[in-house]
Structure 1
Amino acid sequence: MGAIKGFMEYGRETPSGRSVEERLKDQKECYTPFPEEKYRQQGARCMDCGVPFCQSESGCPLGNLIPDWNDMVYRGRYQEAVELLQKTNNFPEFTGRVCPAPCEGACVLGITEPAVTICKIEERIAEKGFEMGFIKPRKPKSRTGKKIAIVGSGPAGLACADQLNTAGHEVTVFEKDDRIGGLLMYGIPNFKLDKKIVKRRLKVMEESGVIFKTGINIGVDKSANELKNEFDAVVLCGGSQKSRDLPVEGRDLKGIHFAMDFLPQQNKRNEGDTIPEEISITAKDKNVLIIGGGDTGSDCVGTSLRQGAKNVYQFELLQEPPQERTENNPWPQWPKIFRVSSSHEEANEHEGKDKITEFCVSTKKFTGKEGKVSKIHGVKIEFGAPDPKTGRPEMREVPGSEFEMDVELVLLAMGFVHPIHEGMLVELGMKLDARGNV
């Protein structure tokens, strides 16, 4: 490593965010890039640690050669950094923005000091790659004559297309929506991943020879078996799209929606689309409740605030994570600790609270007026000892903790259970496990 004592000379820093007041006025990304010298300093913090756990099984699942390109950034050798990063990562401009960064959780420096700012360094390498012309179309020198169909254009489908095209196959990606990108385009809000970043990559892929076809739902608009006959191979990359529901009394009231009905609408508005009033979901001037404490729930928080919600609340069934690692969650495992997203920073300031998320809350029922949701009825829960057979702790209601709260919009962000079965999977006769996954 070039800066042997870099981790002793520099502390961890991350790019500063725009003020909450400013960023709630638009859909732009929250953070502004560092000056170049800051990236060099953060790259210098990477240690000559012997065994780089950041790229081990507990770290980066792509096997990114992190210490090498951290050092290259420190030395200003961006072309080499880009070339090395592209060997393991098809889309570093995406992962540098939205990856949860298990590499940082496994960083050796993180045992005693804050981890190296790996994610933002990765993003910087990608941006310099585009800026300086190092990331460009990669047309294969020859074609194999094999035709591959990829169903689904999310991160998995695009990475698959990029790899197979580079190998010389003729690749066609089929997408049921009207734009390519899957969750990159319609799931992740612009304030986390600006869609011009997605479009920029798609342009490179098209110029490399990948064919994109939109508005075609395989198994509905086009037979899956027809696809099998037309192509030498078919790769299924549809993802887990079936949202987990909340089967309680009042669930059918108007104003209760899945997060993945709400978030894509805002992204479509950002692209200039008009959402018909009869299906439009908006948080403007409403008391909004998000049920679910993960990334999707956080995205709903930030989006609701930008739409002008009156108040935003969030309930999570599970216990609040600890501030620091516990004994049963040692390094280099992914640290299961409490985190504050950019959306929660905004909500905390908007609501004047230390945190808006209420943990250990179970929803009992919804009630409404004239067919529209107006109240949630909930109860606090507590967890007992783990069950000897399942290992899961017993969950029980806290006596006397029942409550109700006024709401006009409820967004269900409780994760996904399995892929959509109807259509393609049924037609292909795909075998499913007990949970409904292929």
Structure 2
Amino acid sequence: MAVIRPAQEIGAELRGARCRARLTQTQIGGIVGYSASAVSRIESGHMRLEYDRLLAFAAALDIPLDRLTSTPAPSPAQVDTVGRPSDEEDAVRRRNLITGALAVTAAFGVPTASAVSATRDPAAPLEDYLFRLPSAAPVPLARLVQETASARADFRAARYSALGRALPSLLASASATWKESTGHERERASVILARSYVLAAELALKQHSDAAWAAADRALTAARASGHPVPVGEASRVLAITMRRSGNSPSAVRLLTREAGDLDTGQEQTGAVRTTLLLTAAYSAATGKDRTTALDLLDAAEEETARRAAPSGLFTVDATRTQVDVYRIGVHTALGTPDEAVEVARRINIDTMATPERRARAWTDAARMWHSLRDGPQTFAALRHVEKEAPQEIRRPALRALTTDLLYAPARVPGVREFAARTGAIPA
């Protein structure tokens, strides 16, 4: 009979599999019949699973049973005449339980982890190649600049599938070119390599992929090698977001404010980068429930935008007054005071934002605000704006989870079920 591994080991294994499958605790709980809080206790090792429930998790998350159990070697008395353990019936029972768990999954219309991972995952090529880039030869810097610009255009237009396909070869070419460059060309190649990894980190963050850590760290390493403050700031921002996502908001705030303090505000581009660092720091502080710091940082970012006559074009984000207001919405929602953001949401004109990705991100913050206020129709209206601006953005794991919450809310909103099926939140 297989022996279940210690609860801490089981929890770590389940959490890793869930994250790889891009499922929330609520979603996996719906598959196996637990609340999100129970899944949290299981993943933290504070709740032990019975054998049949463990098999249900294994089936839903496609985890091999030997990762969750250990089987003692059978004694001679336990082995039959053809050398098989006499508990073969237990193996049959395991298969039946797994089949049953999959049947339950299908009956409730919730995709298994394999189904989720197999469809619409723009970060999948990146995860496959990030730690073993394809072989590539150095290319002329002019060509590399052009390829990076094309990848950036895909990101800003929210064409994430195209970006996911392009990034492995871009990263490989940029890395090979950097290795072979010297002098000023090496500095330029460092900037290109850093920004390529920034794009990789941005895409991984949108898909809740663990690859974001590695991509952001490599982006910052390459940026520091370039000696240019703008790519250093851009890379620091994505690295801080990975820190915040792992639950370490105070460290993210410290990194961002330190990098912002090192920038020369007298120059247009470094001032713009400083604004984005302060905004990300404000949201990070808000997720850590530090209201005073979050609002102070927002005000500092707003003052920074007032110093510049026009926005400076940064690589992936904007540094405008409208962007400050969008972050203000997100900060108040994270602080648990979404009512304070309503007036801000009503006064801004999201259509003036420069790119589909930024407009979709702004509508996402509006959707979260209305959802926190339990206003289903307004939440749905904001989600439909996200879909209109960037169809691939609405398929992000976080937005699928928000759509699912709206679908099963006590007050029914017309059109949500069709929207959920169309955007991948539930099977079509």
TM over 0.5: no
More contact order relative to length (CA 8 Å, sep ≥ 6): 1
The structure whose residues are more often strand, as a share, is 1
The two structures have a TM-score, normalised by structure 1, of 0.31
Report the TM-score when normalising by structure 2: 0.31
Higher helix share: 2
